[in-house]
């Protein structure tokens, strides 16, 4: 059983993987045991250790996905005690089901989608596990890790990382579907529909938003507990007036006040879920197409009898590798579809 002292979350993941006969973390992650000062070291002294779980089709992954992941890891790992992240590309069968429903849709297989992540310069390889096994094995692994650490009186939870389309003023995705009690998003790569100039719109079925100062990128913070979650920040919770006061105090550093804040709200009914929103400095927000836009550009080029050019793939992760996969795609015509579709079947 992994001990909490100077043991990383990846050591515990490896032990749990052995117990559940699932794929273990990479050697790159396991070597982090030699760096006990890193945030991947689990602790029994904090209120909660977190693993960021980032599921998605990633068909293909693009720079918006990477920007979202890196924004949370770089700005909140210490504040939220995030020990590492797991990227889970959806299983091939799930993508094939969608393709059967939409003849114009095609998919890259899971191994390809993982390689597109892994070969990207934007991939945080020292903090992130690209999970290559199936959804059922991930569930078994999660439950085993929770059991193992609970026996040591170490608190662990999985924090679901989702895109802005999963958390809206119309509906919120239940992180419980991924064995999580919390979810987090940001508008670093795509706008959210609940952010206004000076405040946030309330989510359905949730409490009003409150905020916490976080100081990962500035040496302005002392540890502050708010709602027992171990936030690292200057003043804990507050209202917008105090937020503006803080903004004035750091204006000489040229830092937007939004970048110092983590917003949070809770569901009003059980099961209780907690949602976090890390706003971007809007001047730093990137504009990124969706995976469907990239696939559409690929489809259009192939139906024109050519390969996509650099500009059509520039927003994808590992565009050179992606182009190699595209070369294996074949044109498929059907009587029921007036437009040619493409297939990536081997």
Whether 179 and 325 share a structural domain: no
How many residues comprise the chain?
A: 346
- Residue pair 17/120 in contact by the 8 Å Cβ criterion: no
* Phi, psi (deg, nearest 5) at residue 76: -130, 5
Tokens of 344: 């990536």
Q: Give how many domains the chain has, as a whole number.
A: 2
Q: What is the CATH number of the domain that holds 107?
A: 3.40.50
Which tens digits make up the pLDDT trace of 90-111? 999 999 887 776 655 688 999 9
pLDDT average, residue stretch 40-61 = 92
- Is residue 103 situated within a structural domain? yes
Residues 206 and 268: beta-carbon distance below 8 Å: yes
* Residue 32 sits in the same domain as residue 171: yes
Q: Is residue 213 part of a domain?
A: no
Sign, CA torsion 185/188/191/195? positive
Q: Is residue 240 part of a domain?
A: no
Together in a domain, 181 and 320: no
In the predicted structure, residue 232 carries a pLDDT above the cut 50:
no
Task: Measure the CA dihedral 118/123/127/130, to 10°.
Answer: -30
> Are the C-beta atoms of 161 and 105 separated by less than 8 Å?
no
Does position 289 have pLDDT exceeding 90, yes or no? Answer: no
- Which pLDDT score is estimated for 1? 55
The torsion angles phi and psi of 339, rounded to 5 degrees, stand at -115, 145
∠ CA 233-154-128, nearest 5°, is: 70
Residues 300 and 163 placed together within one structural domain of the fold: no
Is 142 inside any structural domain? yes
Let me know whether 56 and 181 are in one domain: yes
pTM for this predicted structure: 0.85
What is the per-residue pLDDT across 136-164, written as a single tens digit (0 to 9) for each?
999 999 999 999 999 999 999 999 999 99
* Domain coverage including residue 34: 9-186
* CA–CA distance, 75 with 136 (Å, rounded to integer): 31
Residue 149 lies in a domain: yes
Tens digit of pLDDT for each residue in 17-41? 999 999 899 888 888 655 545 689 8
| Structure tokens, 121 | 């310069």
Q: What pairs with residue 72 in β-bridges?
A: none
Who has greater pLDDT, 273 or 44?
273
Angle in degrees, 0-180, between the axes of helices 110-118 and 319-326, rounded to the nearest 10: 160
The verdict on 176 and 297 lying in the same domain is no
* Residue 36 placed within a domain: yes
Domain boundary among 154, 186, 218: 186
* Domain boundary residue, one of 186, 213, 236: 186
Do residue 172 and residue 40 come from a single domain? yes
Task: Choose one of 186, 213, 230: the last residue of a domain.
Answer: 186
Q: Is residue 311 part of a domain?
A: yes
3-class SS letters over 88-121: EECCHHHHHHHHHHCCCCCCCCHHHHHHHHHCCC
In a domain, 30, yes or no: yes
pLDDT digits over 184-231, tens only?
999 998 999 999 988 899 999 999 999 888 855 443 333 333 333 434
């Amino acid at each position: 059983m992994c001990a909490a002292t100077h043991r990383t979350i990846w050591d515990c993941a490896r032990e749990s993987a052995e117990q559940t006969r699932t794929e273990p973390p990479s050697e790159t992650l396991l070597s982090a045991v030699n760096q006990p000062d890193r945030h991947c070291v689990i602790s029994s002294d904090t209120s909660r250790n977190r693993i960021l779980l980032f599921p998605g089709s990633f068909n293909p992954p693009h720079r918006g996905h990477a920007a979202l992941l890196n924004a949370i890891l770089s700005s909140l790992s210490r504040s939220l005690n995030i020990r590492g992240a797991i990227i889970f590309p959806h299983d091939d069968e799930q993508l094939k089901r969608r393709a059967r429903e939409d003849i114009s849709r095609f998919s890259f297989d899971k191994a390809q989608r993982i390689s597109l992540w892994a070969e990207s310069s934007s991939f945080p390889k020292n903090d992130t596990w690209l999970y290559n096994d199936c959804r059922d094995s991930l569930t078994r692994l999660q439950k085993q890790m929770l059991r193992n650490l609970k026996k040591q009186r170490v608190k662990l939870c999985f924090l679901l990382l989702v895109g802005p389309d999963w958390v809206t003023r119309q509906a919120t995705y239940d992180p419980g579907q991924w064995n999580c009690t919390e979810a987090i998003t940001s508008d670093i790569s795509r706008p959210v529909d609940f952010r206004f100039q000076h405040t946030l719109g309330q989510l359905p079925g949730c409490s009003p938003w409150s905020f916490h100062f976080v100081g990962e990128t500035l040496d302005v913070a002392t540890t502050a507990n708010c709602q027992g979650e171990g936030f690292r920040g200057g003043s804990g919770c507050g209202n917008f007036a105090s937020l503006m006061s803080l903004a004035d105090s750091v204006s000489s550093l040229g830092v937007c006040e939004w970048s110092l804040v983590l917003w949070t709200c809770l569901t009003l009914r059980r099961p209780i879920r907690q949602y976090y929103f890390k706003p971007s400095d809007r001047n730093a927000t990137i504009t990124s197409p969706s995976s469907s836009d990239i696939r559409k550009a690929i489809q259009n080029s192939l139906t024109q009898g050519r390969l996509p050019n650099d500009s059509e793939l520039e927003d994808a992760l590992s565009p050179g590798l992606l182009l190699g996969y595209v070369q294996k795609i074949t044109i498929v015509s059907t009587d029921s579809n007036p437009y040619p579709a493409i297939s990536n079947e081997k």
